[in-house]
Structure 1
Amino acid sequence: MEINQEALPPGFRFHPTDEELITHYLIKKVLDCTFSSCALAEADLNKSKPWQLPGKAKMGDKEKEWYFFTLRDRKYPTGLRTNRATATGYWKSTGKDREIYSGKVVGMKKTLVFYHGRAPKGDKTDWAMHEYRLQPNFAYHYSSNSKGEWVICRVFQKSGGAGKKRRTAAREVSSAAASASLVELEPSTEHVPCFSNHNSDPSSYASCAPMHGLGLPAFPSPRSLQENLQLPLSFTPPPTGFGNVGQKVEGSELDCFWS
């Protein structure tokens, strides 16, 4: 039975609870396979791509969720496993099944996510589904004469799933580019003596200072040391030579920065 959504009163939404889906829709479908609803269409989810299902639904565009009656496809004729494969991918269950109560347990709710490609190396998409089925003992009581097991599927697209993945990938690329552009600045640990046979020109002393990776002296200028340490303007200049090997030299390394 089709319904014209334009004829519905303003604000109308089909938003049933889990209990209502079981007790008002699924049980009736299991008892009578000809039962139909103005809100639930019939569809074969194994032969449909998730993004094709909204076009097969009777309503749900306002809520961005679509409801369907479907028969569970057995993976093997004599087995109980359900075939979740489609032409372009497969539905993969996630988490534990949840019990649905109406005074007692009347049904189960399973959450599935659609993966594009072949298992087990498919790519996760933002399409998901809730599958509602009768509780096993409940189902046997009501569907003993049924040739298949009817279930209700609520299909929806999780908001921001693909966009979030794109944003995460963009942040990773940006972070990698920023890391590659950084220059690691580590001061040299090699000790270079400041005393030499050269004259006491300050420029010659600066040439013996250890250098950073960027070509800048690791030590500040003499003028900067004077201002920061508030030292006198003049110091005794360093000796002009070492003399014989092993000869003791007066003064300190700091003296070589002053003229």
Structure 2
Amino acid sequence: MGELAQVREFKPADEEIIREYLMRKINDEAFHTDIINTVQFYASDPDNLSQRHSAGGDRVWFYFTKRNRRYSHADVADRRAGDGYSKVIGALKRITPNGERIGSRRLFVYFTGKSPDSVQTDWLMQEFAATENHARMGDWVVCKMYKTTRKGGGSSLIRDAVNHVGEANNNPAYAEIDET
């Protein structure tokens, strides 16, 4: 009887994404993973990216990318990508293991076309930023991209994203940020 090939799973927790991968990338330190590709994430649409790169298990793709300014005079990230754009659909969440804030995560959905005639897709992306570069353009972030299995958009997409990362709504390591 032959041996089964081992399937490589890559399911890092949010804290691990920030500490073990993103901070090491920012600080130009060595780490081992060929699962997180370095790309210009917002230069392509999710279908194109998913075809060019291997998934990290469970049809999830991870990318290092730098955020670009949308306007030269303002710190607004340019989220146009390929023939569409990514739009925020979830509150900014602090990643605070043991009470120490190390980063944040924000949920986006991809739309094709231009507003107001754009069409929502099933592609979701979570953008992870380290605390010290949360608002700075040109710094590294990690984008976790996957396709939702739910239809209907809106709050069902947010529920699917929360279920996808396996977080309980009452997890104290995640707190909504009031940006007012």
| TM-score of the pair, normalised by structure 1 | 0.52
Q: 2:143 is matched with which residue: 153, 158, 161?
A: 153
Q: Does 1:15 align with 2:7?
A: no
Aligned residue number for residue 117 of structure 2: 121
Q: CA deviation at 1:78?
A: 3.4
Matches within 5 A, 1:1-259: 10-32=6-28, 37-60=33-56, 62-103=57-98, 104-135=100-131, 138-139=132-133, 148-161=138-151
Segments of 5+ residues of structure 2 without an aligned counterpart are 154-180
Report if aligned partners of 2:24, 2:30 keep a CA contact under 8 Å in 1: no
Q: Deviations over 1:159-206 (max 9, x none)?
A: 143xx69xxxxxxxxxxxxxxxxxxxxxxxxxxxxxxxxxxxxxxxxx
Q: 1:48 corresponds to which letter in structure 2?
A: S
Q: 2:97 corresponds to which letter in structure 1?
A: S
Q: CA deviation at 1:11?
A: 4.3
Q: CA deviation at 1:34?
A: 8.2
Q: CA deviation at 1:95?
A: 2.2
Mapped to 1, the partners of 2:89 and 2:150 lie a distance apart of 19
Q: Whose strand fraction is larger, Structure 1's or Structure 2's?
A: 2
Q: Give the secondary-structure state (helix, strand or coil) at the position aligned to 1:95.
A: coil
Q: CA deviation at 1:33?
A: 8.0
CA 32–77 in structure 1, closer or farther in 2 if over 3 Å, else same: farther
Q: Give the secondary-structure state (helix, strand or coil) at the position aligned to 2:127.
A: strand
Report if aligned partners of 1:40, 1:57 keep a CA contact under 8 Å in 2: no
**Overall identity of the aligned pairs, in %:** 27
CA 149–120 in structure 1, closer or farther in 2 if over 3 Å, else same: farther
Q: 2:76 corresponds to which letter in structure 1?
A: R
Q: Give the secondary-structure state (helix, strand or coil) at the position aligned to 2:61.
A: strand
Q: CA deviation at 1:139?
A: 2.9
Report if aligned partners of 2:95, 2:102 keep a CA contact under 8 Å in 1: yes
Q: Give the secondary-structure state (helix, strand or coil) at the position aligned to 1:148.
A: coil
Q: Deviations over 1:135-156 (max 9, x none)?
A: 1xx338xx9xxx9210000000
After TM superposition, where is structure 1 displaced by more than 2 Å over at least 4 residues in a row? 33-37, 55-60
Report if aligned partners of 1:43, 1:56 keep a CA contact under 8 Å in 2: no
Larger radius of gyration: 1
CA 12–33 in structure 1, closer or farther in 2 if over 3 Å, else same: closer
Aligned-residue Cα RMSD (Å) equals 2.6
Segments of 5+ residues of structure 1 without an aligned counterpart are 1-8, 166-259
Mapped to 2, the partners of 1:84 and 1:33 lie a distance apart of 27
Report if aligned partners of 2:92, 2:106 keep a CA contact under 8 Å in 1: yes
CA 52–34 in structure 1, closer or farther in 2 if over 3 Å, else same: farther
Q: Whose helix fraction is larger, Structure 1's or Structure 2's?
A: 1
Aligned residue number for residue 223 of structure 1: none
